[in-house]
Chain A
């Protein structure tokens, strides 16, 4: 019996339960992140695919605002996404307005606003993505 207590005293102090909990949480994060990144490499590496959708038209203190949503349904990031809106007014004149989005990550959307002097007619509105580059 005395031998047993002697050998037990030689043992390192017991690891506190909280240490196990904290380490397990860290281990779960590590496994989760690495698994996701691995999955992402094989599944989600398609090129960027960018489109723009018009939103609500509202009157502002100067002119009219058109909310826009740019979407990237591809996997890779698009940088400096340039969107152009073009409206034709009743008297036949055209007005254009541009917005640039610094970064549009894959599977993401970003919001912005185009401004016009005349009230855009939704039926006459053309919205297109002009260009973007790889980051």
Chain B
């Protein structure tokens, strides 16, 4: 009996490891991520680890079902996903020879720590995504509350924005763009977000009343989602030290650039979470 449970769980772990590799390899193959691993400010890396771990817990909680046994399994899932994230990041970085024995402990730990959070997110999402869809389809998902929706948007925004946030292209693109380009990009982000909210979030939502007019959806979801996307972008840019000694016009331009992928992540969160 115990063996059967263990073998089921082993399969689940393997699935999570697969998702971890699938979602995390772009970042593991991004050189700015390796560099940030050693030159990112340690205070910010520590804060990032704590924020990231809270995110893993939240993802684990909100991707579950409302009537499931609460918390214990969610917490265990978050820890095991984080463990997988660390192990798989370390293995991949070792294979790429980005981690080597002559590197200092600080460099090795920084590189692995930074990768472990997105990899852990991949592990959690894969467990839910690639898992067998059982009778849970009919049950109320925790994500269906407004708080759950906002959390999902935050998770989605971080998850997608993180894939490009460490690259130099964010500041390069912001240099190439004029203020007019930035304004247009903001508008496009918002429009896209709204369209995706309609297409993805509201599709097949039987329990949502019909009364959601354009303005209600626009304010409650699209604008809120863009707010989340900008806040997430600001936090990531700060974490990576991109805001230090940077003027406000430059910061605004970088926010417009990074909020674009973050918006897409926020709007499509329901697809992945």
Q: Which residues of A contact B83 (CB under 8 A)?
A: 22-23, 25-29
Residue B76 is within 8 A (CB to CB) of chain A in the complex: yes
Which of B6-14, B154-162, B189-197, B219-227 lines the interface with chain A?
B6-14
Residue B106 is within 8 A (CB to CB) of chain A in the complex: yes
Are A17 and B6 neighbours in the complex by a CB distance under 8 Å? yes
Residue B49 is within 8 A (CB to CB) of chain A in the complex: yes
Query: In chain A, what residue has the closest Cβ to B1?
Result: A14
Give per-residue flags for A72-100: 1 if the beta carbon is below 8 A from chain B beta carbons, else 0: 00011101000000000000000000000
Q: Which residues of B contact A23 (CB under 8 A)?
A: 75-77, 79-80, 83
Residue B107 is within 8 A (CB to CB) of chain A in the complex: yes
Q: Which residues of B contact A13 (CB under 8 A)?
A: 5
Residue A41 is within 8 A (CB to CB) of chain B in the complex: yes
Assuming the A-B contacts A27-B79, A103-B39, are A14 and B109 also in contact, with contact meaning beta carbons closer than 8 angstroms in the complex? no
Are B107 and A105 neighbours in the complex by a CB distance under 8 Å? yes
Interface size on A, residues (CB 8 A): 38
Query: In chain B, what residue has the closest Cβ to A29?
Result: B86
For chain B, the bracket of interface size reads 35 or more
Residue A34 is within 8 A (CB to CB) of chain B in the complex: yes
Are B104 and A105 neighbours in the complex by a CB distance under 8 Å? yes
Can you list 18 A-B pairs with a CB-CB distance of less than 8 A?
Answer: A16-B2, A18-B6, A18-B9, A23-B83, A25-B87, A26-B80, A26-B81, A29-B83, A30-B53, A33-B86, A33-B116, A34-B50, A41-B46, A77-B38, A105-B106, A107-B107, A108-B107, A135-B35
Q: Which residues of B contact A28 (CB under 8 A)?
A: 83
Are A20 and B76 neighbours in the complex by a CB distance under 8 Å? yes
Are A16 and B106 neighbours in the complex by a CB distance under 8 Å? no
Report whether over half of chain B's contact residues are helix, strand or loop; otherwise say mixed. Answer: helix
A22: contacting residue among B13, B35, B105, CB under 8 A: B13
Are B42 and A105 neighbours in the complex by a CB distance under 8 Å? no
Residue A130 is within 8 A (CB to CB) of chain B in the complex: no
Are A37 and B39 neighbours in the complex by a CB distance under 8 Å? no
Are B49 and A18 neighbours in the complex by a CB distance under 8 Å? no
Within 8 A of B (CB), among A4-57: 12-20, 22-30, 33-34, 36-38, 40-41, 44-45
Are B39 and A135 neighbours in the complex by a CB distance under 8 Å? yes
Docked Cα-Cα span, A77 to B35, in Å, equals: 10
Q: Which residues of B pack against A, CB within 8 Å?
A: 2, 5-6, 8-10, 13, 35, 38-39, 42-43, 45-46, 49-50, 53, 69, 72-73, 75-84, 86-87, 102-107, 109, 112-113, 116
Docked Cα-Cα span, A56 to B13, in Å, equals: 49
Q: Which residues of A contact B42 (CB under 8 A)?
A: 37, 40-41, 44-45
Residue among A30, A44, A77, A108 with the highest chain B CB neighbour number at 10 A? A30
Docked Cα-Cα span, A77 to B102, in Å, equals: 16
Residue A109 is within 8 A (CB to CB) of chain B in the complex: yes
Are B35 and A107 neighbours in the complex by a CB distance under 8 Å? no
Q: Report B174 CB to chain A, min CB distance, Å.
A: 19
Q: Report A133 CB to chain B, min CB distance, Å.
A: 11
Residue A120 is within 8 A (CB to CB) of chain B in the complex: no
B35: contacting residue among A45, A76, A103, CB under 8 A: A103
Are A108 and B109 neighbours in the complex by a CB distance under 8 Å? no
Within 8 A of B (CB), among A103-131: 103, 105-109
A19: contacting residue among B80, B84, B87, B112, CB under 8 A: B80
Q: Which residues of A contact B49 (CB under 8 A)?
A: 30, 33-34, 37
Q: Report B210 CB to chain A, min CB distance, Å.
A: 37
Are A14 and B5 neighbours in the complex by a CB distance under 8 Å? yes
Docked Cα-Cα span, A99 to B123, in Å, equals: 42
Q: Which residues of B contact A27 (CB under 8 A)?
A: 79, 83
Q: Report A17 CB to chain B, min CB distance, Å.
A: 6
